[in-house]
Amino acid sequence: MTGRWTWFNITSVVVGFTFLYLPIVLLVIFSFNESRLVTVWAGFSTKWYGELFQNQSILDAAWVTIRVALLSASVATVLGTLAAVALVRFPRFNGRTVFTGMVYAPLVMPEVITGLSLLLLFVAINFARGFWTVTLAHITFSLCFVAVVVQSRLVSFDKSLEEAAQDLGCPPFQAFMKVTLPVIFPAVISGWMLAFTLSLDDLVIASFTSGPGATTLPMKIYSQVRLGVTPEINAVCTILIAIVTTGVLIATILNKRRAMQHKHS
């Protein structure tokens, strides 16, 4: 579409983004609230951040969450990329319909169903619930998101690049590793980041599949929220938001700089 904006367009975009960001902004502001309340401003204070860092259980939960996220994102990226390759490069194989169904279904499956079913699996095979069960669960549903992201990039990838590599003497597997993979790498990385976020963010599946000693941050936050809302929660949330935003900003700046360098050389 061409870039011509009408008043209606501008208004809808502004209203839309205000709606999206307002709660987050309020959350951040109230993390600096002097009083215990999250709705009445009583003055600026960073004491909740101090309290947060004293709170061992929250820190433990954060540590578990990060480890689960890093591990599950990485494994999910490998599996998801394989699944994407299978979907794009092999148009006919036995059981392809079932496979396609299994890859797309988790994208929309209600989490309570996924969580319950995975827990029952772990119980059935007598697998103790804890760090590993949560990780396995997260890998399972994240890999489907990675697959969709990588698949859409792979579909638009110019196959003649891989053919050229083969023509020049590269066996097919090497041609994929040396040419295709480097070119679609940004999509693979997006997939990783998506899987990381999904894991970091997940409450329902973690609640079903986790066990003692492996409480994740969302689980911790949820339990606190049920008891009553304190600004310590706001502080945790603000820190998470800050980390994510910084990460995204850094990535964007790096990308822009690389594009600039390219233009000038």
Partner 1 sequence: MLRAITNRLVILIPYLWLLFFFLLPFLIVLRIALSDLEYGAPPYTPQFSLADGWSALWEKAGQLDFENFSFLASDSLYINSYLSSLQIAFFSTIMTLIVGFPLAYGMARAPSGIRPTLLMMVILPFWTSFLIRVYAWIGILKQEGLLNQLLLWLGVIDTPLEILSTNKAVYIGIVYSYLPFMVLPIYSTLEKMDESLVEAARDLGCTRIGAFWKVTARLAVPGILAGCLLVFIPAVGEFVIPDLLGGSSTLMIGKTLWIEFFNNSDWTVASAIAIVLLIVLVVPIVWFQNAQARAAEAGR
Partner 2 sequence: MPSLGSIRLSFAPWNDPAAKPYISFRNVTKRFGDFVAVDNLSLDVYEREFFSLLGPSGCGKTTLLRMLAGFEEPTEGEIFLDGQSLKGVPPHKRPVNMMFQSYALFPHMSVADNIAFGLKQDGMEKGARDERVAQMLKLVKLEEFAKRKPDQLSGGQRQRVALARAVAKRPKLLLLDEPLGALDKKLREETQFELMDLQQQLGLTFMIVTHDQEEAMTMSDRIAVMDKGIIAQTGTPAEIYEAPNSRYVADFIGSVNILEGAVVSSDDAHVTIKGGDGEIVGALRGSKAPADGKTAWFAIRPEKMQVSRSRPDNADNALEGEVWDIAYLGDMTIINVKLDSGNVVQASMINRSRLVEDPIGYEERIWLSFTADSGLVLER
The residues of the shown chain that bind partner 2, judged by CB under 8 A, are 158, 160-161, 163-172, 175, 179, 182-183, 262, 265
Among 140, 142, 210, 215, binds partner 1 (CB under 8 A): 140
Q: Using CB distances below 5 to 8 A depending on partner kind, what does residue 30 bind out of partner 2, partner 1, none?
A: partner 1
Q: Using CB distances below 5 to 8 A depending on partner kind, what does residue 116 bind out of partner 2, partner 1, none?
A: partner 1
State the SS3 of 193-229: HHHHHHHHHCCHHHHHHCCCCCCCHHHHHHHHHHHCC
Work out the burial of residue 40: count CB atoms within 10 Å of its CB; fewer than 13 is exposed, 13-18 middle, 19 or more buried: exposed
| Residue 240 interacts with partner 1 (CB under 8 A): yes or no | yes
**Interface of this chain with partner 1, residues 89 to 108, rule: CB under 8 A:** 89-90, 93, 95, 98-108
**Cα 218 vs. chain centroid, distance in angstroms?**
14
Region of 42-50, 51-59, 66-74, 222-230 interacting with partner 1 (CB under 8 A): 222-230
Q: CA torsion angle for 32, 38, 43, 48 (degrees, to 10)?
A: -40
Q: Taking the complex as a whole, how short is the minimal distance between the CB of residue 264 and partner 2, in angstroms?
A: 10
| Residue 258 interacts with partner 1 (CB under 8 A): yes or no | no
**Interface of this chain with partner 1, residues 41 to 60, rule: CB under 8 A:** none
Distance of alpha carbon 160 from alpha carbon 167, whole angstroms? 10
φ, ψ (nearest 5 deg) of residue 44: -85, 135
With respect to partner 2, which residue has the nearer C-beta, 4 or 262? Answer: 262
Applying CB under 8 A, the site for partner 1 has a residue count of 96
Q: Using CB distances below 5 to 8 A depending on partner kind, what does residue 104 bind out of partner 2, partner 1, none?
A: partner 1
Beta bridge partners of 33: 44
Region of 42-50, 53-61, 146-154, 180-188 interacting with partner 1 (CB under 8 A): 146-154
Collect all residues with Cβ–Cβ distance below 8 Å to 116 and sequence separation of at least 6.
Answer: 208
Contact present, 216 and 64 (Cβ < 8 Å): yes
